[in-house]
Amino acid sequence: MKVSAGDSRDMAAEGEAVSNKQVIFKNYVTGFPKESDMYLTTSSINLQVPEGSDAVLVKNLFLSCDPYMRGRMKNFPSDDPQFSPFHPGSPVFGLGVAKVVDSGHPKFKKGDLVWGPTKWEEYTLVSSPDHLFKIHHTDIPLSYYTGLLGMPGITAYFGLNDICTPKKGERVYVSAASGAVGQLVGQFAKLMGCYVVGSAGSKEKVDLLKDKFGFDEAFNYKEEHDWDATLKRYFPEGIDIYFENVGGKMLDAVLLNMRVHGRIAACGMISQYNLQQPEGVHNLMTIVYKRILIKGFVSFDYFGQYSKILDYVLPYIREGKISYVEDIADGIESAPAALVGLFSGRNVGKQVVAVAHD
């Protein structure tokens, strides 16, 4: 055991080699991902960062299951360090909440709670800890740092404010509205005085939208067979803002119902991820004569402004004015099913995997 220069490390624990359950990505996926595209294995890990390294060794508490991860299950040339494919034979990676076990980085010390990029395993050596955020507010459930106070919160807040610039009284439509991002977009838009309609894929989710999140209206898209007509029913005067999580046929129906100068923020298109050939969107000509803005965005670009969302959201959480619904799967063994379930809409609310409780 090597001992690096003076900090508050607990030498009793950190030198230990412990067993480390991992979720390994098997191989690139076409079509819907299956649980069998991942497998569990147990390796061992030394709970200490290598000498001279500025890495951080963390114990993972919560892992985040996010639709964008489907994109990492196929091979592609990536020049974007923030969005590269999984490596077959290596652990799945993503975002999570973790506790620092050992640190070679001056910003972190043992016992710190953090959220950010980690791997799907019990313990992870984070080699680029600069991308980790330290968690300062622990009166909020820690799992929320995979959702409301993590990447989905950033996505909802900046997508809505920066791209859609909502004004009081504007009409907002949110698809995948009970999901990690959608439930927040709807609530933020309501707090801004908008009229908000959401769609989701079950009665339970639709009830959540109306009863828990305060959406003005909500519908089950699986029970509607002509989405153009459905949207005309809920938006007789058209849609000012569409928060796009779905893509494909839903986007086509929305384009027919946008108002002049409407704005569409696109952070994902979950309906398309598992198709060999994405659906064609036919109604793009409407963007010309309706002067519509469509802006794709990636939440990572806003991570530098993370404090803004804390300032905005923490008071609302503490006043009980924002709710957040999570679907927490217990144990790292449940992680593959939890991730795969996103694409059939099995989850109700933000899908999280609880790996350890402290």
- In the complex, which residues of this chain contact a second copy (CB under 8 A)? 71, 80, 83, 247, 251, 260, 266-269, 272, 277-298, 301
Smallest separation (angstroms) from a second copy to the CB of 247: 7
Q: Which is nearer to a second copy, 215 or 273 (CB)?
A: 273
Number of other CB atoms surrounding residue 109 within 10 Å: 15
Closest approach, Cβ 299 to a second copy, in A, equals 11
Strands 113-119 and 133-134: antiparallel
Smallest CA-to-CA distance from 103 within 48, 66, 148, 158 is with 48
Nearer of residues 164 and 251 to a second copy, judged by Cβ: 251
Give, in order, the Cα–Cα distances in Å from 97 to each of 1, 20, 41, 352, 355. 27, 17, 21, 10, 10
Q: Give the Cα separation of 24 and 38 in Å (integer).
A: 5
Select 73 or 267, whichever has its Cβ closest to a second copy.
267
Least distance CB 287 / a second copy (angstroms): 3
Instruction: Considering the complex, state which of residue 141 and residue 248 has its C-beta at the smaller distance from a second copy.
Output: 248
91 alpha-carbon distance from chain centroid: 19
What are the beta bridge partners of residue 21? 42
Q: Shortest distance, CB of residue 278 to a second copy, whole angstroms?
A: 5
Report the residue number, 1 or 288, with the smaller CB distance to a second copy. Answer: 288
The candidate with the shortest Cα–Cα distance to 194, out of 227, 161, 162, 168, is 168
Other Cβ atoms less than 10 A from the Cβ of 235: the count is 21
Taking the complex as a whole, the smallest distance from the CB of residue 63 to a second copy amounts, in Å, to 22
Pairing of strands 258-266, 326-330: unpaired
Cα 338 to Cα 206, 216, 219: the distances in Å are: 21, 30, 24
**What is the DSSP pairing of strand 113-119 with strand 171-174?**
unpaired
Q: How far is the CB of 15 from a second copy (least distance, A)?
A: 41
CB of 228 to a second copy, least distance (A): 14
Q: Which is nearer to a second copy, 286 or 334 (CB)?
A: 286
Q: Which is nearer to a second copy, 18 or 260 (CB)?
A: 260
Q: Where are the beta strands (DSSP E) in 78-150?
A: 93-103, 113-119, 123-126, 133-134
